[in-house]
Amino acid sequence: MTRYRAAVHITPRRGILDPQGKAVAGALHALGFSSVHDVHVGRYIILELEAQDAAAAERDIRAMCERLLANPVTEDFDIAAITEVAGVTA
Amino acid sequence: MKFGVVTFPGSNGDYDAFKAVAERLGEEAVYLWHKDHDLQNVDVVILPGGFSYGDYLRAGAIARFSPIMQEVAAHARAGRPVMGFCNGFQIACEAGLLPGALLRNDSLQFVCAQVPVRVEASNRFTSGYKPGQVLTLPIAHGDGRYTADEDTLDRLEGEGLVTFRYVSSAGEVVPAWNPNGSARAIAGITNAAGNVLGMMPHPERAVDPLVSTGDGLAMFEAMLAHVGA
């Protein structure tokens, strides 16, 4: 087994009102960042897990996202990176 | 008749629900600890309001994995009544007992108010009300914006599963009286089988005119009429 570190982005599904994103966009405008026209606020989750290989790690993380980390009704997830943690082998 | 009120870490409406049943309705109530696997032969399960597990990840997302939720789900699958109020509604949605999800209020503000709520469906929970009756019930939540895809919303409407809607004091659906931006002003729904109810307003906090209205009590009385003493 190898230890992996993975990063998962959870974002509000496009088309679903994201009042938090709108509020942040408004605050950025108030600061003078008038170039901003869209903001979405989500979560960034970092996981460390043991898996046989990177493909197995990704399968596990996908299942975790589908069952808990993201709400399938309102959120999308994206597994941004899976990297081996050097020097840790169980 | 016996009601079971689940206490999760962070529940704060469990005592209100217990008192509504035990003192206002005059029926037996028991607390069900979230770590137990025993529903103690209750007829009705209440998932109370509060902030179970600190609303970590999403409101209700962690509570749904509490040990007792396996028994609650089995109770629901058997067609027996489950009432989820506020956080209980969020937990029921996360657990898949009800469709949809509850998101951050569109105002981003926590709302605590007495609001008009219209009875939209005649079912086992609302048999004590007249169709279209406007109740005044308290709400207290930051994540109450009911959301589901359009097909689900159409199905809920088509099958008469929308049980409560936020309305004006005159009983009309108008955006200004939707306190959280809920889709189609939905305040409460049931599942297709009609035995699981979820609602953001707190009927258990509207059983004594001293602190609110008495408009919530008829929901508990309806359970008595339906399930029997």
Ranking A11-15, B85-89, B195-199 by mean pLDDT, the lowest is: A11-15
pLDDT band at A90 (very low <50, low <70, confident <90, very high): low
Q: Position of tokens 């770590």? A: B35
Tell me the β-bridge partners of B218.
none
For domain A2-16+42-89, give the CATH number: 3.30.1280.10
Q: What percent of chain B has pLDDT over 90?
A: 94
Say if CB B204 and CB B13 are below 8 A apart: yes
Distance from C-alpha of B183 to C-alpha of A83, rounded to nearest angstrom: 40
Of the pLDDT bands very low, low, confident and very high (cuts 50, 70, 90), residue A88 is low
- Residue-wise pLDDT for B96-153, tens only, equals 999 999 999 999 999 999 999 999 999 999 999 999 999 999 999 999 999 999 999 9
On whether the CB atoms of residues B5 and B200 are closer than 8 A, the answer is: no
- Mean local confidence (pLDDT), B13-21: 97
Which of A17, A43, A73 lies nearest to residue B100, judging by beta carbons?
A73
ipTM of the complex: 0.82
Contacts of A43 in chain B (CB under 8 A): 57
Q: How far is B195 from chain A (nearest CA, A)?
A: 22
What is the residue whose two structure tokens read 């206490």?
B7
Q: Do A16 and B100 make contact, defined as CB atoms within 8 angstroms?
A: no
Is A27's Cβ below 8 Å from some Cβ in B?
Answer: no
pLDDT of B227 reads 80
Burial of B128 (0-12, 13-18, 19+ CB in 10 A): middle
Give the mean pLDDT of B48-55.
Answer: 93
Instruction: Please give the average per-residue pLDDT across B164-179, as a whole number.
Output: 97
Q: Tens digits of per-residue pLDDT, B28-44?
A: 999 999 999 999 999 99
Asked if residue B211 has pLDDT above 90, the reply is no
Structure tokens at A31: 């600061």
B181 and A CB contact within 8 Å? yes
pLDDT tens figures, A31-84: 999 999 999 999 999 999 999 999 999 999 999 999 999 999 999 999 999 999
Dist. CA B202–CA B200, nearest whole Å = 7
Nearest by CB: B147 against A16, A20, A69: A16
Tell me if residue B192 falls in helix, strand or coil. Answer: coil
Contacts of A73 in chain B (CB under 8 A): 93, 99-101, 147-149
Q: Can you tell me whether residue B23 is helix, strand or coil? A: helix
CA distance A87 to chain B (A): 31
pLDDT at B229 over 60: no
Domains of chain B, each with CATH number or no CATH: 2-227 (3.40.50.880)
Phi-psi region of B9 (alpha: psi -120 to 50; beta: other; left: phi over 0): beta
- The tokens 């949809």 sit on which residue? B100
Residue by residue, DSSP assigns A50-83 as EESSHHHHHHHHHHHIIIIIS-TTTEEEEEEEEE
For B121-152, give the DSSP string: --STTTTTS-TTPEEEEEEEESS-EEE--HHH
